[in-house]
Amino acid sequence: MIELIPAIDLIDGKCVRLSQGDYAQKKVYDERPEEVAKAFEGAGVRRLHVVDLDGAKAQHIVNWRTLERIATQTSLEIDFGGGLKSDEDLKVAFECGAKMVTGGSIAVKNPQAFSNWLQKYGADRIILGADVRDGKLAISGWQEVTETELLPFLSEYAAKGVTKTICTDIGKDGMLQGPSVDLYTKILSAMPDLYVIASGGVSSVDDIVALEEAKVPAVIFGKAIYEGRIRLEDFKRFL
């Protein structure tokens, strides 16, 4: 059964969604993310993906107080990402209640630091973020596209001990046009032991079913919930 991971993206402590990573296309859905998280928990999910979009821009953790409120008011397992660049950032994230953290930009820009985190905290707590636009990795809140190719990047880190990756197709994110099933199938074909978490484009329950049929282990989705295309009661089918 595919693992469902609802997403909460944060700007100014509010629950927002972007389209294709464009900060200019921001829509605020709720000013109390902790209440959104409680609703997800009430629907039966156990895991939550929280992204500090302010942090991604600022290159350091920003919305730690909101993370703390979500963590103290729910029992959800939170994976937290966005702007984590230093040991101090990780310390704050874990102290504020994150069970796992996601590092994407730092894994590209400072692979030694990311590898050190992996050794220090273990593969269960460090998730590799792989945000992709046209097959190339994008970093710094998706503001910068690199020349780094996705599959060699994932393969290199899998060899270093990474077991989980969140792979986001930026072109699909927030567009509600369906996920990149072919992309995830290609990753799993090359690295069948990697726990691939699909992200971007989910618009309906049928999209989740398509990912499940493709043997994708987990899926992150947010806008489809906030726009009413996936209802909380739909979660039961997968739990």
What is the set of active-site residues? 9, 131
Nearest 5°: phi and psi at 184? -70, -35
Residue 9 CA: distances (Å) to CA of 42, 66, 148, 153, 233: 19, 11, 25, 25, 22
- Angle 187-21-66 from CA coordinates, rounded to 5°: 100
Q: For strand 3-11 and strand 136-139, is the pairing parallel, antiparallel, or unpaired?
A: unpaired
Residues 167 and 127 sit within 8 Å (Cβ to Cβ): no
- List b or e across 207-217, with b for residues whose CB sees 16 or more CB atoms inside 10 angstroms: bbebbbebebb
Q: How far apart are CA 212 and CA 89, in angstroms?
A: 34
Nearest 5°: phi and psi at 234? -65, -20
Instruction: With CA atoms as reference, report the closest residue to 20 among 167, 140, 172.
Output: 172
Element (H, E) at 73: helix 64-73
Q: How far apart are CA 239 and CA 195, in angstroms?
A: 18
